[in-house]
């Protein structure tokens, strides 16, 4: 099978999964009585006074399949309902909170990937010596750490003990006012970047200071994961014949490890990038809730505890679709760039 | 029996797995003897409710009466962590048991019969695997309403598909073996072939590895109740006890670590519990799966 037919087959396979995702969300929705479900159709707060009308308008007492089609129609029009907790529509809320979460992910993702690869390579290159034992012990500990506990301890030390050195939330009150003032243009919604673009270095500095702890909290567990993966993959590739050849022709150990072994050992890290995406979304909810960092995860947490069902189901749908598409892109890239991947057979 | 002796032989050889097993045994003892270690107060009907000593908000430091101190709302930390061990085992064992039953049933049906049955079951797993697990678990917990059953069901819903897939993969490779065909040719029924030949040759490693995922299950459950979802307020659970402590991390004016115990003690219980399973699991994976045992 060539790449083009693989691409087509893969695209077709995504469709039933996306439908399945919507059906699963719809089934969860059915656990709630009609007056609660009505929130998934509201587009304006004034409508909430007439919930009965909404139930009638969208046939919320109708047979299930009929309701599903009406609901799906709404979803395709971009109407995911009203988020009561933040007082805007679910779609607006997602767009509004996305930049904050992106800001977190922009710093955490490279740290996780490069940190994990670097540590894993170091450990494998010094197998069974001190640095290997230390990183492995660290990885097992990091892997067992409850993220939420780690975040609280970091806050206890760096916010409590060091007198507000690395504070929670996204910006200090003063900078928050500045960011929302008329003279400050919010080009991207990413505070550190907008700070640079507006030539307001105080905003960038303040934003970075607020990002340190959440980024560490989000990264530790996942660095441990990538490191373990990288270590075993490196060990396997160091045992290959071409490594022996490379050493035999007198290449320095540095070149052998960094060029010959590591490049091949990084493939498994690419294959888990889909998993990594899910792990980061999971981590974002916990991290943002600890640091009161107002992004998507914080919003999901607030709405979940307040039983704001349109928001949490909307968020689940959004993250599910995004995850499916991420996996699709990863698979395609993988098939495109690794000539060894056999394109035949079932996916 | 032979397998069990093999298991213990390898555990003894690896010091880290001895530490892991010891941790798990200690926690098991705490869970079994919880009613003796932290007796339920006279007149309290539900032992999983943490007793309170008053209703004031700030946690109190360890004292003779409350040896681990109290957390927000004067819940007794010692009682909470001891009975929380029971909660952890309860959630871990029930969830993993259910996940294995569902995973084995659907995985072996898909792998053994193949074709359209396989395709349908695998597409269903795709759908469940299409969500970041914690997000789906949150949605399911809310949909089912509060209670420990909702938490367990939510984690089962997000965990079964990966096991079904692993078991299916193992069975696919075993299905082609000669002894399966031999058994079929002498007239064994499908059920007999699956139960007597396919499963024993494929699932024991999965079974043991899965049981070691109890740590991960407990971590997810703790995360849910840290977020304030699922378990009712005051239920003896480590995640919730950390949730109680979250507003008190900054301490008082003179002593920034005034409430350290409320955060640290329940957290250490989760940490060591999960680490116990991970240490044991890590070394066992190498033993049980020769493909992974890279020297």
* Per-residue pLDDT reduced to its tens digit, A182-203: 888 888 888 888 888 888 888 8
Tens of pLDDT, residue by residue over B90-128, are 999 999 999 999 998 999 899 888 889 998 999 999 999
Nearest to A120 by CA among A237, A213, A214: A237
3-state SS assignment for residue A131: helix
Q: How confident is the model at residue A79 (pLDDT cuts 50, 70, 90)?
A: confident
B294 — contact with chain A (CB < 8 Å)? yes
3-state SS assignment for residue B235: strand
**Whole-number pLDDT of residue B240:** 93
- From the centroid of its chain, how far is CA A59? 35
**Whole-number pLDDT of residue A346:** 44
Taking only residues 136 to 155 of chain A, the set having a beta carbon closer than 8 angstroms to any beta carbon of chain B reads 140-141, 143-149, 152-153, 155
Lowest model confidence (mean pLDDT) among A207-211, A295-299, A339-343: A339-343
Contacts of A218 in chain B (CB under 8 A): none
Q: How confident is the model at residue B28 (pLDDT cuts 50, 70, 90)?
A: very high
Q: How confident is the model at residue B7 (pLDDT cuts 50, 70, 90)?
A: low
Separation of alpha carbons A170 and A176, rounded Å: 8
Separation of alpha carbons A53 and B35, rounded Å: 55
Interface touch A309/B260, C-beta < 8 Å:
no
Question: Read out DSSP for B54-112?
Answer: ---SS-B---SSSTT-B-GGGBBHHHHHHHHHHHHHHHHHHHHHHHHHHHHHHHHHHHH
Lowest model confidence (mean pLDDT) among B85-89, B123-127, B194-198: B194-198
Nearest to B152 by CA among B243, B160, A336, A4: B160
Query: What is the least distance, in Å, from the CA of B105 to any CA of chain A?
Result: 21
Separation of alpha carbons A23 and B127, rounded Å: 9
Q: Model's pTM, two decimal places?
A: 0.88
**Whole-number pLDDT of residue A341:** 61
Q: Mean pLDDT throughout B165-189?
A: 84
Lowest model confidence (mean pLDDT) among A73-82, A84-93, A225-234, B282-291: B282-291
B275 — contact with chain A (CB < 8 Å)? yes
Residue B220 has pLDDT above 80, yes or no: yes
Residue B295: closest C-alpha in chain A: A235
Residue A86 has pLDDT above 80, yes or no: yes
Of the CA atoms within 13 Å of residue B70, those in its CB half-sphere come to: 21
**Whole-number pLDDT of residue A340:** 66
Specify the DSSP class assigned to residue A245: H
Residue B292 has pLDDT above 50, yes or no: no
Average model confidence (pLDDT) for chain A? 87
Q: How confident is the model at residue A101 (pLDDT cuts 50, 70, 90)?
A: very high
Residue A76 has pLDDT above 80, yes or no: yes
A196 — contact with chain B (CB < 8 Å)? no
Residue B293 has pLDDT above 50, yes or no: no
Of the CA atoms within 13 Å of residue A331, those in its CB half-sphere come to: 18
Lowest model confidence (mean pLDDT) among A104-108, A142-146, A309-313, B195-199: B195-199
Locus of tokens 């109290």? B70
Query: What is the least distance, in Å, from the CA of B185 to any CA of chain A?
Result: 28
Residue B194 has pLDDT above 50, yes or no: yes
């Amino acid at each position: 099978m060539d790449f083009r037919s693989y691409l087509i087959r893969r695209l077709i396979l995504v469709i039933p999964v996306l439908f399945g995702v919507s059906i699963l969300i719809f089934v969860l929705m059915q656990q709630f009585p009609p007056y609660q479900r009505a929130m998934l159709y509201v587009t304006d707060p004034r409508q909430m006074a007439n919930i009965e009308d909404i139930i009638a308008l969208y046939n919320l007492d109708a047979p299930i399949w009929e309701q599903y089609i009406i609901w799906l129609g709404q979803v395709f029009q971009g109407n995911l309902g009203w988020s009561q907790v933040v007082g805007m529509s679910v779609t607006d809320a997602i767009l509004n909170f996305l930049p904050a979460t992106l800001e977190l992910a922009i710093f955490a993702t490279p740290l996780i990937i490069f940190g994990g690869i670097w540590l894993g390579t170091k450990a494998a290159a010094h197998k069974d010596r001190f640095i290997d034992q230390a990183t492995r012990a660290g990885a097992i500990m990091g892997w067992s750490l409850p993220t939420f506990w780690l975040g609280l301890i970091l806050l206890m030390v760096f916010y409590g003990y060091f007198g507000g050195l690395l504070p929670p939330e996204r910006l200090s009150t003063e900078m928050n006012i500045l960011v929302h003032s008329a003279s400050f243009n919010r080009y991207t919604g990413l505070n550190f970047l907008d700070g640079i673009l507006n030539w307001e270095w105080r905003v960038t500095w303040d934003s970075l200071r607020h990002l340190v702890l959440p980024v560490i909290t989000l990264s530790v567990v996942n660095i441990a994961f990538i490191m373990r993966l990288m270590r075993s993959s490196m060990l396997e590739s160091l045992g290959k014949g071409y490594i022996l050849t490379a050493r035999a022709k007198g290449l320095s150990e540095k070149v052998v490890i960094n060029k010959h072994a590591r490049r091949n050992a990084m493939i498994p890290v690419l294959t888990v990038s889909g998993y990594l995406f899910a792990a980061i979304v999971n981590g974002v909810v916990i991290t943002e809730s600890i640091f009161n960092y107002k992004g998507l995860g914080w919003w999901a947490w607030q709405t979940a505890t307040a039983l704001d069902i349109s928001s949490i189901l909307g968020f689940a749908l959004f993250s599910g679709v995004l995850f499916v598409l991420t996996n699709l892109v990863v698979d395609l890239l993988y098939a495109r760039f690794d000539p060894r991947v056999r394109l035949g057979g079932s996916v | 029996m032979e397998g069990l002796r093999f298991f213990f032989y390898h555990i003894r050889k690896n010091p880290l797995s001895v530490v892991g097993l010891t941790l798990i045994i200690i926690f098991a003892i705490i869970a079994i003897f919880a009613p003796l270690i932290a007796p339920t107060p006279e007149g309290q009907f539900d032992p999983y409710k943490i007793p309170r000593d008053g209703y004031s908000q700030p946690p109190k430091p360890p004292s003779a009466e409350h040896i681990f101190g109290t957390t927000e709302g004067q819940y007794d930390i010692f009682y909470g962590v001891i009975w929380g061990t029971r909660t952890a085992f309860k959630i871990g064992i029930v969830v993993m048991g259910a996940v294995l039953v569902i995973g084995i049933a659907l995985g072996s049906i898909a792998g053994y019969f193949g074709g359209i049955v396989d395709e349908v079951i695998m597409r269903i797993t795709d759908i469940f695997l299409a969500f970041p697990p914690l997000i789906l678990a949150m949605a399911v917990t809310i949909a089912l309403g509060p209670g420990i059953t909702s938490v367990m069901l939510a984690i089962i819903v997000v965990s079964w598909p990966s096991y079904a897939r692993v078991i299916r993969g193992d069975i696919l490779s075993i299905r082609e073996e000669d002894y399966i065909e031999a058994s079929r040719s002498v007239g064994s029924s499908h059920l007999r072939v699956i139960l007597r030949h396919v499963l024993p040759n494929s699932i024991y490693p999965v079974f043991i590895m899965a049981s070691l995922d109890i740590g991960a299950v407990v971590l997810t459950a703790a995360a849910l109740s840290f977020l304030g979802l699922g378990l009712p307020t005051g239920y003896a659970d480590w995640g919730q006890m950390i949730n109680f402590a979250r507003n008190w991390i900054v301490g008082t004016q003179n002593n920034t670590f005034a409430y350290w115990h409320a955060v640290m003690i329940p957290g250490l219980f989760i940490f060591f519990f999960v680490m116990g399973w991970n240490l044991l699991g890590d070394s066992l994976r190498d033993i049980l799966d020769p493909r992974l045992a890279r020297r």
